[in-house]
Amino acid sequence: MHSETRSYRTGGEEVVLDLTDDAAEVAAGRGDGLLHVFVPHATAGIAIIETGSGSDDDLLSALADLLPADDRWRHRHGSRGHGRSHVMPAIVPPHATVPVLDGRLALGTWQSICLVDLNIDNAEREVRWSFLGG
């Protein structure tokens, strides 16, 4: 097993951050197995989606429709609507597992591994990568 943690700066706005290149680096040369990605934050998630064609913006729009940034949330510290960021991981989970074959991610043609972060109050995120196999 191999495990490592990397830090990412998500900035002060909602973001879908493509982590696929980093995932490929972690998996490179490791043979067959599983790459597990986990974000240890209560307000972020991991999604496997297409990026660069508008799907990442569509995901943010869908989450805004499902979880509006308004004053309905009981969890009220931070920026307006911050409580929705604490609900989001129930919809976009904080983890994903991807097969690795011969040291390469076995993703579909248009699939990318992405960090989804609605929390504009926390610009620094950590992602834990764990490769199981060999």
Residue-wise DSSP of 68-116: -SSTT-S--SSSTTTHHHHHGGGTS-SEEEEEEETTEE---TT-EEEEE
Spatial distance between the Cα atoms of 17 and 127, rounded to a whole number of angstroms? 12
Q: Where are the domains of the chain?
A: 2-133
pLDDT by position in tens, the chain (length 134)? 999 999 999 988 899 999 999 999 999 999 999 999 999 999 999 999 999 889 999 999 999 999 888 888 787 777 877 788 889 899 999 999 999 999 999 999 999 999 999 988 888 999 999 999 97
Q: What is the pTM of this model?
A: 0.93
8 Å CB contact between 46 and 37: yes
Starting at the edge strand found earlier in the chain, the sheet holding 15-18 runs 15-18, 112-117, 44-49
Q: Which fold has domain 2-133?
A: Jelly Rolls (2.60.120)
